[in-house]
Structure 1
Amino acid sequence: MIASVSLADLRRTPNALARHYTRFRVAERPLLTGHSHQAWPDVAVEGQLEAFTDAATEVDGKWARAFAKAEEVRAGYRRLLDDDAPLALGASTHDLLVRLLSALDLRRRPRLVTTDGEFHSLRRQLARLAEEGVEVVRVPAEPVGTLAERLAAAVDGRTSAVLVSRVLFATARIVPDLGTLARTCADRDVELVVDAYHALGVLPTPVPRLGLDTAWVLAGGYKYLQLGEGNCVLRMPPHAERLRPVVTGWFAEFGSLSGAPGERVGYAPGGDRFAGATYDPTSHYRAARVFGFFTEHGLTPEFLRAVSQHQVGLLAAAFDALDLPEQEVRRDRSVPLTEVAGFLALRCRDAERLRAGLAERGVSVDCRGEYLRFGPAPYLSDAQLEAAMAALGEVVRDRSERARS
């Protein structure tokens, strides 16, 4: 039975969802790190205990139940992507990314095109590959409005793949026109890899309607989906069966017709083609229960987008009302909030010092470089968001007063 909540229910104090997050004490402390780690609902514990019980009861026979939980996780991601393509699961997006990169023909086409605004998993791995002779082209992420077009222009006959985020992790800017980029890549037989980690849970990402049918889509549940660690996914395009990852685990043999000594290495069909090896299934038990919680409370992609837009808008309005010195902290008011995803990014002279000052006042945010990031979540009330932004005003003014004295 669905016990849906409304935006009005979430705005009030107490927030209608907060009672389901008692272990994370979301009603007592303003956790605005939702873009990096949202709280888990209390039912997550039920999933973890179920994993232990199945292991204790079934011992090695637990894997049939664990694989069923993995299918529930896939089903949850399919609902978010509005797509029924095969999905590979992994402990991290980096784990899945490495397997995908290992399937590319980098000897024949040793060129990868990306942006200078990608998350560290991709940034670091590509930097290391560049040290080994792979040509890595980094297109400036700004201006975001033309990023897809400029990535397409950088594709040539030596390009194996284009790798880009749907939402930029430092600024929350939504990258438009990825469907057009996907068509260019498909026409040139180039793989398009879209990182949707900062989209799922705050920005609907219907793969077919976005024109991303031919794209690989990476995502995970550690941030906005409240699934915790170990729950990442790789959406596979129809032509995925042509690729043979070099980095491959023995779980990728399940269901394959090959694998006998001396034969060419075979791969399982569907998402298991990119499978690894033995893993801790506890994360999938937890994720399956949290996906069920989202369904039970009507937390659909469209509703979560409405909540996110309200909360980010409230934070932006509260920040503007502070009228703080722009040399200390400012936001880009030229960007409509409809072009922003799940958090408010503020550009600061010293973002780390402001983050530390907020932490001293009990407000949890984080920073990336020069950006201070306020990441709301559905279990926070309007009053909590307003209080958090008021605390930023106190930190900035305290620093200014100390500088004058």
Structure 2
Amino acid sequence: MSYKKHYSRYLAEHPNSLHFAPHSHHYWPDVTRDAQLAYWDDSARGVDHKWGTIFGERVPAVQKYLAQLLNHPYPEQFVFASNTHELLYRVISSYAPNKPLKILSTDSEFHSFSRQIRRLQERPEVEFVSIATEPFATFESRWLEAIQQQTFDLIFTSQVFYNSGIVAPELNTWIDAVPSRTQIIIDGYHGCGAIPTDLASYADRVFYLAGGYKYLQAGEGCCFMAVPKGCQLRPEFTGWFADFANLAKPQKAQVEYADDGMRFAGATMDFSAVYRLESVLAWWYRDGLTVAAMHDYVKQLQQAFLTILDEVKHPHINRQNLLAKDLNHHGHFLTFKLVNAETVEQLAAHLSQHGIETDYRGERLRFGFAIYHDVEDYQQLKNALTQL
């Protein structure tokens, strides 16, 4: 089955390109254009009163879709922001800056987190423990050992690591070893909408972060966090949305927060991305297009891709240079670890000249897959590789 008809506008803009970077910036389906215009129309009709439509209709609709997508029992626990970093820092700001803060994470988190942690470590009160994800074969045991040996205030880990595509250990393999006072944050950005995810058992325990820029296909500007049911943290980094329902009431000396996910909300933002996300999730729901079905489709694409590599026998881009050989616990992009960054840059430039759009990080070259690919498209890749 081909899904290309749903992406006709983006594909028309790039008729000679094979986009192998949807894990970086996913093509938007056609439904998002109508959603963008719907936001304009609602703003024109409502002007200052549009917030009633946004918070009364659009936000609840997306909350319900996300809860269904992730099998999360509490739609009201989803809160939105322009980026995940904003939401992450609200959780961190719940801890007093003059008190000790001990954080566990890995060496493979996205740049925003790693940069923020480096800055926080300039505080003498902050202690950071980082576990190397490589070698992957022993990561799960080393991760669990770290959790068992020490007590942390905060644990942060990706669902799928952005620099490899490796799926992190399942929550049920380590969460029972975490004390109840420790906050757990899962960065689901490279997993949500790609890897089937079930949060039902963790809805009162885990913060789950993700957004529309990648596999949710709605573009930048719409990120969200599932907040544990009953969470009573009081983020210092807060805004007027965080108690929106009581805005008209007299404000007390004690800063109050919503009793649901909105306690981690910020302030005024552009909600057009929320409209776009609603349109994507509504399309999936309407057509019965599940994450599991898309994941199976992508796995078929990946196998077709690897078959072509086996045929071409390229000296660099080959199965032997895959960073992870086992694709059973893998996201929707494949990472090749090559001899050096210069080789990667040269290969990426050559591929781009032949309409093959990839992305790279240092000595790692990444190929991503999406449902707007067909197996037949990969003949273009085969032609490009044979000319390298």
TM-score of the superposition, structure 2-length normalised? Answer: 0.90
* Alignment partner, residue 18 of structure 2: 30
Shift of the 256–157 alpha-carbon distance from structure 1 to 2, 3 Å rule, reads: farther
* Alignment partner, residue 145 of structure 2: 153
CA positional deviation for 1:392: 3.4
TM alignment of 1:92-107, pairs within 5 A:
92-105=83-96, 107=98
CA distance in 2: counterparts of 1:372 and 1:300, whole angstroms:
29
- 8 Å CA contact retained: 1:253, 1:259: no
CA distance in 1: counterparts of 2:355 and 2:317, whole angstroms:
25
CA positional deviation for 1:144: 2.9
- 8 Å CA contact retained: 2:159, 2:191: yes
1:58 to 40, 46, 57: 46
* Alignment partner, residue 36 of structure 2: 48
- 8 Å CA contact retained: 1:99, 1:248: yes
Shift of the 249–308 alpha-carbon distance from structure 1 to 2, 3 Å rule, reads: same
CA positional deviation for 1:322: 2.0
- 8 Å CA contact retained: 1:267, 1:273: yes
CA positional deviation for 1:257: 9.3
* Alignment partner, residue 211 of structure 2: 220
Partner-residue secondary structure (3-state), 2:365: strand
Q: Deviations over 1:180-217 (max 9, x none)?
A: 322222x25211111111111221011136x5751111
User: Which runs of 5 or more structure 2 residues have no equivalent in the other structure?
Assistant: none
* Alignment partner, residue 339 of structure 1: 329
- 8 Å CA contact retained: 1:257, 1:266: no
- 8 Å CA contact retained: 2:62, 2:278: yes
Q: Deviations over 1:22-64 (max 9, x none)?
A: 2111682211111111111112111111111111122111111
* Alignment partner, residue 183 of structure 2: 191
Partner-residue secondary structure (3-state), 1:255: helix
CA distance in 2: counterparts of 1:227 and 1:321, whole angstroms:
36
User: Which runs of 5 or more structure 1 residues have no equivalent in the other structure?
Assistant: 1-8, 11-16, 396-405
Shift of the 352–74 alpha-carbon distance from structure 1 to 2, 3 Å rule, reads: farther
CA positional deviation for 1:147: 2.8
Shift of the 147–216 alpha-carbon distance from structure 1 to 2, 3 Å rule, reads: farther
Corresponding position: 1:83 with 2:83: no
* Alignment partner, residue 344 of structure 2: 351
Q: Which shows bigger deviation, 42-51 or 256-265?
A: 256-265
CA positional deviation for 1:245: 0.5
Partner-residue secondary structure (3-state), 1:136: strand
CA distance in 2: counterparts of 1:109 and 1:259, whole angstroms:
36
Partner-residue secondary structure (3-state), 1:219: strand
- 8 Å CA contact retained: 1:66, 1:285: no
Shift of the 157–278 alpha-carbon distance from structure 1 to 2, 3 Å rule, reads: same
CA positional deviation for 1:106: 5.7
Q: Number of residue pairs matched?
A: 378
- 8 Å CA contact retained: 1:73, 1:287: yes
CA positional deviation for 1:90: 1.1
2:162 to 169, 178, 193: 169
CA distance in 1: counterparts of 2:370 and 2:324, whole angstroms:
24
CA distance in 2: counterparts of 1:58 and 1:109, whole angstroms:
47
Corresponding position: 1:313 with 2:313: no
- 8 Å CA contact retained: 1:259, 1:265: no
CA distance in 1: counterparts of 2:116 and 2:67, whole angstroms:
27
CA distance in 2: counterparts of 1:288 and 1:60, whole angstroms:
22
1:136 to 125, 128, 140: 128
Shift of the 329–366 alpha-carbon distance from structure 1 to 2, 3 Å rule, reads: farther
1:229 to 220, 226, 230: 220
- 8 Å CA contact retained: 1:258, 1:265: no
Shift of the 333–245 alpha-carbon distance from structure 1 to 2, 3 Å rule, reads: closer
Q: Which shows bigger deviation, 376-385 or 174-183?
A: 174-183
Shift of the 105–192 alpha-carbon distance from structure 1 to 2, 3 Å rule, reads: farther
* Alignment partner, residue 291 of structure 1: 281
1:71 to 49, 57, 60: 60
Q: 1:253 is aligned with what amino acid?
A: D
- 8 Å CA contact retained: 2:80, 2:222: yes
Shift of the 366–388 alpha-carbon distance from structure 1 to 2, 3 Å rule, reads: same
